[in-house]
A and B are shown apart, each in its own frame.
Chain A
Amino acid sequence: MIEMKELRKAYTTGKVEFEALKGIDLSIKHSEMVAVVGPSGSGKSTLMNIIGCLDVPTSGEYRLEDDPVNEMTSNQLADIRNKKIGFVFQAFNLLPYATAYENIEVPLLFARVSGKKRRERVNELLARVGLADKAGNKPTEMSGGEMQRTAIARSLANDPDLILADEPTGNLDSKSGGEIVKIFHELWSAGKTVIIITHDMNIAEQAQRIIRLKDGLVEGNGNLA
């Protein structure tokens, strides 16, 4: 599903150039569950953003389902983010003025799903993450766990094959975190490809494979027994 070769990403701040990814070779198959771990600043988020088509690499190759992402237009990338990838952030990134229902609806609007189908789909997703009774709540009226479940529901809106989560439990207490991890596990069981960045080894050990990053390079690529 994902193929990366010699992938590099450099950030330029002022005149200083900093290379966050220094040549990543990576291959992730369909229906895998992968945990990405590594010390802070090792390039995990940078890698995840590139996988999620939220950012572009400086050099190297990235193929998503055999399509070269490097060569895509911004509209094609937008459509991929809309339909093929669900991204869950540590900071939730919900629209602050919109309710849970409306936040989940956004990707469906961009996908031009008709009004009736939209309603059905949003309600289905709300039920799935256990938020049927919070449909009308805005982010400020929800707990962290509820916000993250809303964000997960939104990431699933157009039924993507690939779910990416960048420290999804980082801002949550362990109980809510546990619920969130459970959902990802269910998604994987249902056949989705799931990639989670985490600091929590308990979470990482639930994955099939752990990818370790250090200083912008993949350190280990072992399979869990």
Chain B
Amino acid sequence: MNLATIYNIFIRDFRKQKKRITLTLVALAWGTISIMLLLGFGEGLHQQLSINRKGMGEGIVILWAGSTSLPYKGLPKGRELAFTADDIDYLKASMPELAEVGGEYSRWGVEVRHGNSVVSEHVTGITPNYETMRNHIPEMGSRMVNELDMQQKRRVAFLGDELKNRLFGDEDAIGKQIFIRGLPFTVIGVMQHKMQMSSYSGHDLNKVSIPLTTFEAVFGHRYLNNIIYVPTDLNNMAAIERRIYEVFSAKMRFDPDDDRAISVWDTVAGSREFTNILFGIKLFLGIIGGLTLLIAGVGVANIMYVSIKERTREIGIKMAVGGRKSYILAQFLIEAFIITFVGGFGGMAVSYILTEGFQRIPIESDVLDFMGRPTISLEIGLVVIGILGIMGLVSGLFPAMKAASVSPVESLRYE
């Protein structure tokens, strides 16, 4: 086999058949681009949804005290129950199966002021573990309420990011003073922006959070609005819930079977449904992607195949004037590889540029918060190129191999 010969013939024909080759290239690139973008945006959406659902916190259960609906040990039904700050420690001490327990006070319509900006907002008194349990993640260079703040009942405030903007605009808030109900507080932290899809007391981005103990001192509340916990084992939710009733039944005196006494929101159960939805989205994208791939593959195969009649004659002619089978197949093989390589990787490069460009679009919008950032996956790209390449190769090379294997007369006669 002589490489120079193969090269000479290949280059010559390649230049001559630009139209067909360009068409095949474009079909392959187009197929790659559409699948890459589809899956890229799908993956972005998927990731974003996964992030968003964590906005309120992951694996948390929220407890509210209710009122009794059954008489208990001589006490009548219809008694109002309430949690106190002690109950947080009591629950933690009674139930080792809880990884974290926290709680909060809430008050709406509190005047919060900085300079000339005055807003009427929601103030919560919280435990420091809200940082992880409820995703009160501080922005860089700031912090959340900590244990020391709690012990010393410090007048420190952690602001939701949108509230910070309303009070401070672009100005840095950390270390500055705000007035809550006329009392000065030092801003220690601003919450990192998060997309929160569910809530039980308004979205966190417009809240002021202060230490639970400070809240008690400032507002004189005696009863918590709710308690939240994260169990160590997410697969054991029902049993843990039962234990909660038993533990509080003794302390607050209600029938442990009285399910009105405490209401429970198990976000983990909802989260399972959400996982199914996410899986559904993935499956849907997978199916659409597969079908698109098939269409693109058929397109490539079709172009290859349509040109086969012409090419079979071409092979017949070349063999008739003395072309060896190996030269002819080498030419086809190189051609198919170049088309696959240029078309496939070209398509991948274009997809990459498009998604990168999309990510650079400097818009802060809620739509983007939901859609997420498209992510191109190299693996998917390689699989796509591989499949399209193989389809093109098979539909182009097999007929060529057949044409080169029969006598030249037969290929010349091909209609």
Taking Cβ atoms with an 8 Å cutoff, the residues of A that contact B are 49, 52, 54-56, 74-75, 78-83, 87, 89, 93-98, 102, 105-107, 109-112, 154-155, 157-158
Min CB gap A63→B, angstroms: 19
With an 8 Å Cβ cutoff, the count of chain B residues facing the other chain is: 29
Min CB gap B21→A, angstroms: 11
A-B contact pairs, 7 of them (CB 8 A): A55-B409, A87-B321, A97-B17, A98-B12, A107-B322, A110-B324, A110-B327
A78 / chain B contacts, CB cutoff of 8 Å: 319, 322-325
Given contacts A75-B324, A79-B324, A98-B12, 19 further A-B contacts (CB under 8 A): A49-B407, A52-B320, A54-B408, A55-B409, A56-B407, A80-B322, A81-B320, A82-B321, A87-B320, A93-B313, A95-B317, A96-B310, A98-B16, A106-B9, A106-B323, A109-B12, A110-B322, A111-B322, A112-B4
Contact of A81 among B2, B12, B310, B322 (CB under 8 A): B322
Is B412 engaged at the interface, CB distance under 8 Å to the other chain?
yes
Query: What are the 6 A-B residue pairs with the smallest beta carbon separation, nearest first?
Result: A82-B322, A97-B16, A107-B321, A55-B409, A78-B324, A110-B322
Chain B at the A interface: mostly helix, strand, loop or mixed? helix
A49 / chain B contacts, CB cutoff of 8 Å: 407, 409
A157 and B320 CA atoms in complex are apart in Å by 13
A154 and B322 CA atoms in complex are apart in Å by 11
> 1/0 per position for B296-324, CB-CB distance to A under 8 A?
00000000000000100110111111111
A87 and B321 CA atoms in complex are apart in Å by 8
Q: By CB atoms of chain A within 10 A, which of B4, B12, B322 has the most?
A: B322
Is B263 engaged at the interface, CB distance under 8 Å to the other chain?
no
Contact A109 B8 (CB under 8 A): yes
A82 and B322 CA atoms in complex are apart in Å by 4
B318 / chain A contacts, CB cutoff of 8 Å: 95, 106, 110
Contact of A95 among B314, B326, B409, B412 (CB under 8 A): B314
A96 / chain B contacts, CB cutoff of 8 Å: 310
Chain A, residue nearest B406 (CB): A55
Is B5 engaged at the interface, CB distance under 8 Å to the other chain?
yes
Contact of B319 among A81, A83, A94 (CB under 8 A): A81
A49 and B411 CA atoms in complex are apart in Å by 13
Contact A112 B5 (CB under 8 A): yes
Contact of B5 among A52, A74, A109 (CB under 8 A): A109
Min CB gap B31→A, angstroms: 26
Min CB gap A98→B, angstroms: 6
